[in-house]
Amino acid sequence: MASVDLRPNENHDVVWATSDLHAAGWSRRSLSRAVADGTLLRVRQGRYVAAGTRDEIVAATRLGGRLDCVSLLIVHGVFVHHRVDLHVQQDPLASRRPPAPHGVRYHWRRTAAPRDRSVVHVVEALAQAVQCQPPRSAVATLDSAWHLGLVDEAGIGEVFARVPRRFQVLRGLLDPRAEAGTETLVRLLLRHLGCRVDVQVRIDGVGRVDLLVDGWLIVECDSAQFHGTWHVHKNDRRRDMAALERGYVTLRLLAEDILYRPDRIRAALQRVLTHRAPGPNS
């Protein structure tokens, strides 16, 4: 290592060994001073990260592994349905690793990540996340990563090359146009109910809608993040009125209900769909 760049926004995933720092010209005294003044954080014997490194990465590094699976994807802003355990990749040949503490899940597998990296590659994390989540949640995670540009179609192919054959059926369910994980979950539910679902449809006089079901029902998936102001609510009401004038019916679902009350959402959709009326595209 010729130099050490301590800017955390540039090297948030780098772990330096004591030997690397000495090779870069750091003396024992300067290293001790950097730890004392908070420039460096000593995560375990002979291993350091830059100050400002995310807590999840620090925790994984302290355990001798790398941040992995859904825990890493959350850091990248990818949708993950259930956020509980810390997922850590461990080398299956590693010795003297502490047992996984409560709330930590180890994934014992090899990685292509360089030895000085504290996170795995996104493709590896996605492949692991497919196996760690229920199928619909896994599809929502993949949609999100694809939509965000963290992977492209080739990257998705690499993800499915890494998972067992039983997961291959999920690939045909992906749609990178989905702008939120909740949209994916509702789309899959509607498909299971036998509906035709179009994603991110632009309707003249209304604008772009999340989902258009069977040509007449608009389903919008609302969250506090994007629908938390009165200005937004007013715009939504005007859009709904414009849609109704054109023969569409709008159903607005709350993200928290989609995520945590799926049975309630399913029942509501089934009842609404029994009242389907001829729409402009029916």
Q: What pLDDT, on a 0 to 100 scale, did the predictor assign at position 273? A: 93
- What topology is assigned to 181-273 in CATH? Endonuclease; Chain A (3.40.960)
- Please state the domain extents for the chain: 1-53, 55-174, 181-273
Structure pTM? 0.89
Q: Where are the beta strands (DSSP E) in the chain?
A: 16-17, 40-44, 47-50, 66-67, 86-90, 104-108, 197-203, 207-213, 217-222, 249-254
Per-residue pLDDT tens digits of the chain, which is 282 residues long: 345 665 544 556 889 999 989 998 999 999 999 999 998 999 998 899 998 899 999 999 999 999 999 999 999 999 999 888 999 999 998 877 888 999 999 999 999 999 899 999 999 999 999 999 999 999 999 999 999 999 999 999 999 999 999 999 999 999 999 999 999 999 999 999 999 999 999 999 999 999 999 999 999 998 755 545 646 778 888 898 999 999 999 999 999 999 999 999 999 999 999 887 555 555
- Tokens 């760049």, located at residue: 5
- Give residue 262's pLDDT: 95
